[in-house]
Amino acid sequence: MKAWELREIKDISLTEREIPTPSRGEVLIKVKAAGICGSDIPRIYENGAHKMPLIPGHEFSGIVEDTGEDVSEDLAGKRVGIFPLIPCDRCAPCRSGHPEMCRDYDYIGSRRDGAFAEYVTVPASNLIELPDGVGFEEAAMLEPMAVAVHAMRMTMEESTGDREKKIVICGLGPIGLMLLMFLSEHGYRNIYVTGNKDIQKERAAAFGIHGDNYCDSRRECVPEWIMQKTGTGADVYFECVGKNDCVTDGIESAAPGGTVLVIGNPYSDMTFPRDIYWKILRNQLTVRGTWNSTFLKDRTSERNEDDWHYVINKLKDKKIDPSVLISHRFSIENLEKGFWIMRDKTEDHCKIMMVI
């Protein structure tokens, strides 16, 4: 099979590999679509993976081609999405229904071979079957959509009054835009966004954000703009960039008793000047982190719907359309062009997809 193999940092190439054989409890997936995540670029070109050689890629979908021992053969031929985090199922977070905080997890595409290949093996328990009408490209975005939903559900209540809260999204990459998509679909009315590219304003408009609710951070002081627009500050500030100044902007512009939720992977160390730290204390802010998403293998009822099933139900009911976020599609042979675009920022892009 064809596969993009990362041997060392900056050393990635399309190679021929043997098609893997599923082990006990695993299935073999014929990959149909895979998205490039922002975390894949530093993994390939700056930091490396946990072990190499490695096939990266963790946002993907496909068809069950074969089943290993102790896996029902009925799964063969099923169209599926795949939760890439493989929890230990033993630690306290796993036992309490939070596998995303597992203390001893494996991970497809960073700790074991992933989906930038024609085939990949995954645990059968990590599959989510795709309903009719949900395509492979949509399903390859289940992972980042679930990350956005996880952040939303951590901070937003279900009450009608909650929909009047003043919300700020800092950063309009794929996660920020997906968060905007779900918040808008859910009926939140007072949403303000900040970005630093002209095209981001156009993308935000696709989800109902127009001129008055968009701040170009290259031209405006973000905290001043937020205070001018909201009067009291942001009740919830989603930081989707991972930069020190963006976190600081959130603390400065949060309303008394507000929440700053940090989502973006950090570009560097985070430090707070003393006056910013005072704002956390005196405004009694909640500064909270989020990572990944919740996927439950055993769900006792729909009331305990996890993030992945929340997203799949929205897709099934046509409540959302993530396909508008796909800016580039490449074959497996040409996928490296997608890596270069994201690394060098030579073209405007949003979600870059490998399609087989």
Whether residue 304 is predicted with pLDDT greater than 80 in this model: the reply is no
Range in 44-58, 147-161, 172-186, 253-267 the model is least confident about: 147-161
- C-beta atoms surrounding 207 within 10 Å: 21
- Give residue 160's pLDDT: 54
Q: Which amino acid is at 176?
A: G
For the chain, how many residues are written? 356
pLDDT in tens, 209-223: 988 899 999 999 999
Q: What is the Cα–Cα distance from 3 to 57, expressed in whole angstroms?
A: 10
- Give residue 354's pLDDT: 98
Three-class HEC string of the chain: CEEEEEEECCEEEEEECCCCCCCCCEEEEEEEEEECCCCHHHHHHHHCCCCCCECCCCEEEEEEEEECCCCCHHHCCCEEEECCEECCCCCHHHHCCCHHHCCCCEEECCCECCCCECEEEEEHHHEEECCCCCCHHHHCCHHHHHHHHHHHHHHCCCCCHHHHCEEEEECCCHHHHHHHHHHHHCCCCEEEEEECCHHHHHHHHCCCCCHHHEEECCCCCHHHHHHHHHCCCEEEEEECCCCHHHHHHHHHHEEEEEEEEECCCCCCCCCCCHHHHHHHHHCCCEEEECCCCCCCCCCCCHHHCCHHHHHHHHHHCCCCCHHHHEEEEECCCCHHHHHHHHHHCCCCCCEEEEEC
Range in 248-262, 299-313, 335-349 the model is least confident about: 299-313
Mean pLDDT for all residues in the chain: 94
pLDDT in tens, 270-303: 999 999 999 999 999 999 999 999 999 865 544 4
Its sign, for the CA torsion 115, 120, 122, 127, is positive
Whether residue 188 is predicted with pLDDT greater than 80 in this model: the reply is yes
Residue 271 · residue 305 · CB < 8 Å: no
- Top pLDDT among 275 and 158 is at 275
Residue 61 · residue 141 · CB < 8 Å: no
- Give residue 74's pLDDT: 95
Range in 59-63, 78-82, 135-139, 215-219 the model is least confident about: 215-219
Instruction: Give me the residue spans of the domains in the chain.
Output: 2-140+321-355, 155-289
Provide the whole-model pTM: 0.95
- Give residue 305's pLDDT: 84
Rounded average pLDDT over 300-311? 76
Fold designation for 155-289: Rossmann fold (3.40.50)
Q: What is the Cα–Cα distance from 200 to 183, expressed in whole angstroms?
A: 17
- Of 44, 3, 33, 8, which is closest to residue 343 (Cα–Cα)? 44
- Give residue 159's pLDDT: 53
Q: What is the Cα–Cα distance from 61 to 34, expressed in whole angstroms?
A: 7
Whether residue 347 is predicted with pLDDT greater than 60 in this model: the reply is yes
Residue 180 · residue 169 · CB < 8 Å: yes
- Percent of the chain whose pLDDT exceeds 70: 97
Q: To the nearest 10°, the Cα dihedral for 127, 129, 135, 141?
A: -40
- Give residue 301's pLDDT: 45
Q: What is the CATH number of domain 2-140+321-355?
A: 3.90.180.10
